[in-house]
């Protein structure tokens, strides 16, 4: 089996404008959630969210930015950070064989802010005023396509769409591309930017969002008995994945190994997770098989853990079912307690968090837990927890509306660098 | 009536806003596509911005004839006359 390693990381998130600041924030328990003070939020049933920590326009060329939906802006910043972090350049400084270079960059929803903004313009100012860039901005594959253009990817540029599992699916697809021999190096991850009155209200109408308007910073509280829904976040995270052979040949530094991925579908309900958790467990079991690892190799799980009343408990039982007695030695956390839920950006951000946890041997706390749900069959980290010496592997779960389940496994095999190096 | 130079200057500001070319480089003899690197979608934006700025209508079939900055300025002058 072809070993796949992670050689570059980039993140533009509610906790920071880059990957190191984001990881530092996760370990420090920093809170990315804040009230929405904009006029458009005044009448909404939910008036808080987790915006990116910085304005993307301060990180992009003005002309380039005006042709990109916010979701693509965030992806471009994070993707190019990852690319530079892997020691790679652009144009003449890009040593990679373009025919062997791919991109998989997911989005759960696509360029919705562009769609809504341009529709407002058409209604208010007439058809002639709609931007000719509307279609290339709103299409869900625009973040992937723009990244592909910048780094010169010709092995294939893909945008998996599976709601909140999308960017884990992008990582799974990247692994398949390399193991099937279609690429040697893939920029993989996802992005989302839908903090806007319509999607917030639409999620609220489903009763999916927390309504803790009087105390937003404590709203995302996975496994706390008083959790009442997820908190919408935005951001992007991209990883440079490459075959071990390719990374070694060019002398790349290695954060760890992308050991494998597992995918399943509930086929149960369009939005409710199957309460049996069967599909979730299957995804984790398939991810272990795909990785050539066993349950006893796993020491950490970055859970989907969105802070919904039903979902968190179902996942806890799914983890126990998938790992069996080996779950006793697994520390589970939900970093969504700090970042909110990035939807199509969640999978890659949390795969990054799981990678850094085993890379640094520290699991971030799940913040905001005042009263832990009783009788959980898992060990939830309510403080930062140390991982043991030796070989480590971790699972990152992402589950999406539509019944999509994707588990990704990372390990510290081949690790040659940490964040500071 | 705005002078040719006043119209060129306004068009230059629009081109700068949309594609980032320095306004002083937007001269009458410059080709939008060949000299200023204006792609077809950006050209649509420039035309619509000119319509709004100068209160004129530039039909879609005319757009293909606007090869240079001078072509656009001349069209605007005629349309305003």
Reported confidence tier of residue B2, pLDDT bands at 50, 70, 90: confident
- Which chain B residues are closer than 8 Å to A133 by Cβ? 41, 45
CB contact under 8 A, B20 and A61: yes
**∠ at Cα A16 (A219, A136), nearest 5°?**
95
Q: What average pLDDT does this structure show over B7-16?
A: 98
Could you please report the per-residue DSSP string of A93-141? G--S-GGGEEEEEEESS-SHHHHHHHHHHHHHH-GGGS-TTHHHHHSTT
Instruction: Name the one residue in this structure whose structure tokens are 């939008």.
Output: B32
Q: Is A268 on the interface with B (CB under 8 A)?
A: no
CB contact under 8 A, B48 and A62: no
What local confidence, expressed as pLDDT, does residue A421 receive? 42
What local confidence, expressed as pLDDT, does residue A318 receive? 98
A160 phi and psi angles, rounded to 5 deg: -70, 140
Please tell me the distance in Å from A12's CA to the nearest CA on chain B. 25
Looking at domain A4-249, its CATH architecture is: 3-Layer(aba) Sandwich (3.40)
A304 is catalytic: yes
A246 is catalytic: no
CB contact under 8 A, B41 and A61: no
C-alpha distances in angstroms, A77 versus A57, A236, A335, A352, A355?
10, 8, 21, 16, 20
Which of B14, B21, B47, B48 to probe the A interface (max A CBs under 10 A)? Answer: B48
A389 phi and psi angles, rounded to 5 deg: -70, 165
- Topology match between the domains A4-249 and A260-411: yes
CATH class of A260-411: alpha beta
Q: What average pLDDT does this structure show over B16-45?
A: 96
C-alpha distances in angstroms, B73 versus A45, A89, A125, B22?
51, 41, 25, 17
CB contact under 8 A, B52 and A129: yes
The Cβ-side half-sphere exposure at A261, using a 13 Å CA radius, reads: 27
Task: Give the 3-state secondary structure of residue A398.
Answer: strand
- Which chain A residues are closer than 8 Å to B19 by Cβ? 63
The pTM is what?
0.97
Residue A386's CB: how many other CB atoms inside 10 A? 10
- Interface of B to A at Cβ within 8 Å reads 18-20, 41-42, 44-45, 48, 51-52
Can you list the residues of chain A whose pLDDT is less than 50? Answer: 421
CA distance linking residue A49 with residue A234, whole number of Å: 8
Which residue in A51, A164, A196, A237 is the catalytic one?
Answer: A164
CB contact under 8 A, B41 and A129: no
A341 is catalytic: yes
Please tell me the distance in Å from A128's CA to the nearest CA on chain B. 7
A264-274: buried (b, 16+ CB within 10 Å) or exposed (e) per residue?
bbbeeeeeebb
Please tell me the distance in Å from B66's CA to the nearest CA on chain A. 17
CA distance linking residue A355 with residue A342, whole number of Å: 18
C-alpha distances in angstroms, A342 versus A32, A165, A196, A349, A408?
12, 10, 14, 8, 17
What local confidence, expressed as pLDDT, does residue A419 receive? 80
What local confidence, expressed as pLDDT, does residue A420 receive? 59
CB contact under 8 A, A136 and B51: no
Q: Is A127 on the interface with B (CB under 8 A)?
A: no
**Could you state, in order of their start, the residue ranges of all structural domains in chain A?**
4-249, 260-411
């Amino acid at each position: 089996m072809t070993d796949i390693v992670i050689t570059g990381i980039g993140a533009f998130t509610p906790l920071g404008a880059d990957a190191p600041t984001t990881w530092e924030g996760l370990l420090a328990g920093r809170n990315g959630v804040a009230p929405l003070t904009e006029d458009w939020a005044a009448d909404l049933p939910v008036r808080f969210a987790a915006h990116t920590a910085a304005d993307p326009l301060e990180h992009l060329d003005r002309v380039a930015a005006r042709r990109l939906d916010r979701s693509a802006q965030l992806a471009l910043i994070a993707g190019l950070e990852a690319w530079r972090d892997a020691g790679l350049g652009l144009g003449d400084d890009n040593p990679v064989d373009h025919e062997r270079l791919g991109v998989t960059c997911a989005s759960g929803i696509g360029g919705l802010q562009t769609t809504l903004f341009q529709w407002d313009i058409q209604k208010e100012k007439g058809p002639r005023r709609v931007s000719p860039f509307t279609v290339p901005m709103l299409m869900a594959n625009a973040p992937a396509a723009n990244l592909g253009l910048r780094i010169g990817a010709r092995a294939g540029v893909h945008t998996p769409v599976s709601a909140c599992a999308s960017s884990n699916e992008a990582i799974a697809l990247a692994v398949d591309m390399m193991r099937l021999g279609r690429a040697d190096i893939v920029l993989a991850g996802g992005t989302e930017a839908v903090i806007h009155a319509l999607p917030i209200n639409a999620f609220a109408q489903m009763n999916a969002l927390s309504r803790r308007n009087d105390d937003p910073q404590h709203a995302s509280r996975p496994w706390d008995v008083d959790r009442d829904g997820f908190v919408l976040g935005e951001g992007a995270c991209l990883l440079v994945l490459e075959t071990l052979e390719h990374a070694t040949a060019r002398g790349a530094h290695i954060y760890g190994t992308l050991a494998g991925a597992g995918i399943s579908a509930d086929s149960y309900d369009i939005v409710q997770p199957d309460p049996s958790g069967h599909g979730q467990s299957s995804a984790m079991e398939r991810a272990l098989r795909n990785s050539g690892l066993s349950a006893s190799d796993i020491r950490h799980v970055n859970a989907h853990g969105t802070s919904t009343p039903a979902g968190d408990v179902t996942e806890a039982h799914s983890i126990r079912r998938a790992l069996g007695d080996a779950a006793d030695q697994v520390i589970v956390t939900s970093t969504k307690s700090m970042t909110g839920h990035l939807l199509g950006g969640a999978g890659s951000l949390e795969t990054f968090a799981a990678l850094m946890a085993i890379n640094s041997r520290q699991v971030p706390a799940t913040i905001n837990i005042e009263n832990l749900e009783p009788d959980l069959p898992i060990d939830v980290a309510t403080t930062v927890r140390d991982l043991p010496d030796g070989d480590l592997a971790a699972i990152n779960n992402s589950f999406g509306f539509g019944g999509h389940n994707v588990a990704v496994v990372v390990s510290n095999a081949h690790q040659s660098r940490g964040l500071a190096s | 009536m705005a002078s040719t130079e006043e119209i060129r200057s306004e068009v230059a500001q629009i081109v700068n806003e949309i594609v980032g070319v320095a306004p002083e480089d937007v001269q009458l003899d410059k080709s939008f596509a060949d000299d200023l690197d204006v792609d077809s979608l950006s050209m649509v934006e420039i035309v619509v911005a000119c319509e709004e700025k100068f209160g004129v209508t530039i039909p879609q079939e005319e757009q293909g004839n606007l090869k240079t900055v001078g072509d656009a300025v001349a069209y605007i002058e005629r349309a305003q006359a």
